[in-house]
Amino acid sequence: MADRSENAIRLRGLGRDYGDRPALAGVDLDLPAGTSLALLGPNGSGKSTLLRILATLLRPSRGEVSVLDCDLPNDAWKLRGKIGYLGHEPLLYEDLTGRENLEFQARLYGLPREEAASRIDSDLALLGMSRRSGYRVSDYSAGMKQRIAICRAVLHRPSLLLLDEPDSNLDPEGREAARTLIGRSEELGWPAEGPVTRVVVSHEPEKARAESDQLLELAIGGVQA
């Protein structure tokens, strides 16, 4: 078994309940830093729940969870600045423009203004959103919202990307462009301080297998299949 210092994520007996209903049960995982994990399973198997626990948005009901050498939930405050989370919904501020959403995010992470502006310009250009970044989000298509949400997830250059169906609402051109921001470490168009680890929820098993180093498949009830 790999030592925890070699792993970006280490789970032992992870469980999460909603009332009397188990959403996850007995999940074990060792994920080395810099690798990509595909999280597979039918609807209701706990994939998004697991992602939200790793993102410190949910507390586990039982088990051990270590993410980037931080024990959850106690060390969640140390971890949040190292995570890029893309949920199933983009959760953007509809009354702000795409650029304003990113500028607000940059302030939350304490990025210097010039550095933030440079990253925002670069990421918007990579995803083909430079010209439309001045439009209100409420006027965006679902695909445009997804592109801005992807930019937001990586703006602070995280060490861990947690991606819930990142291809949702993207056309083939958008999917290819997104790889430069949320692909494997060797595909990223931005410099990282160290290896970037990914956990990707997917409903496309064959595509996930081709694009990942490791698979974790969950069954109904959140048990490892």
Residues linked to residue 33 through DSSP beta bridges, in sequence order: none
CA–CA dist 24, 13 (Å, integer): 9
Q: What is the CATH number of the domain that holds 190?
A: 3.40.50.300
CA–CA dist 118, 161 (Å, integer): 21
Residue 126: strand, helix, or coil: helix
Low-confidence ranges of the chain (pLDDT < 50): 1-4
For residue 52, being part of any structural domain is answered with: yes
Rounded to the nearest 10 degrees, what angle do helices 113-126 and 142-154 cross at? 140
For residue 222, being part of any structural domain is answered with: no
**What does the pLDDT read at residue 41?**
94
Radius of gyration of the chain (CA): 17
CA–CA dist 59, 57 (Å, integer): 7
For residue 16, being part of any structural domain is answered with: no
Residue pair 199/9 in contact by the 8 Å Cβ criterion: yes
For residue 27, being part of any structural domain is answered with: no
CA–CA dist 150, 133 (Å, integer): 13
User: pLDDT tens, 83-126?
Assistant: 999 999 999 999 999 999 999 999 999 999 999 999 999 999 99
User: pLDDT tens, 189-211?
Assistant: 777 777 899 999 998 888 888 88
- H or E element in which residue 142 lies: helix 142-154
CA dihedral 172, 211, 189, 118 (to 10 degrees): 70
**What does the pLDDT read at residue 5?**
53
**What does the pLDDT read at residue 4?**
43
Residue pair 135/98 in contact by the 8 Å Cβ criterion: yes
For residue 152, being part of any structural domain is answered with: yes
Contacts (Cβ under 8 Å, ≥6 apart) of 42: 219, 220
For residue 109, being part of any structural domain is answered with: yes
**What does the pLDDT read at residue 185?**
78
Identify residue 209 by its one-letter amino acid code. R
For residue 64, being part of any structural domain is answered with: no
Residue 210: domain span: 34-59+82-216
Tokens representing residue 199 in the block:
């956990």
Task: Give the angle 23-164-18 at the CA atoms, nearest 5°.
Answer: 20
Residue 117: strand, helix, or coil: helix
For residue 128, being part of any structural domain is answered with: yes
Counted domains in the chain: 1
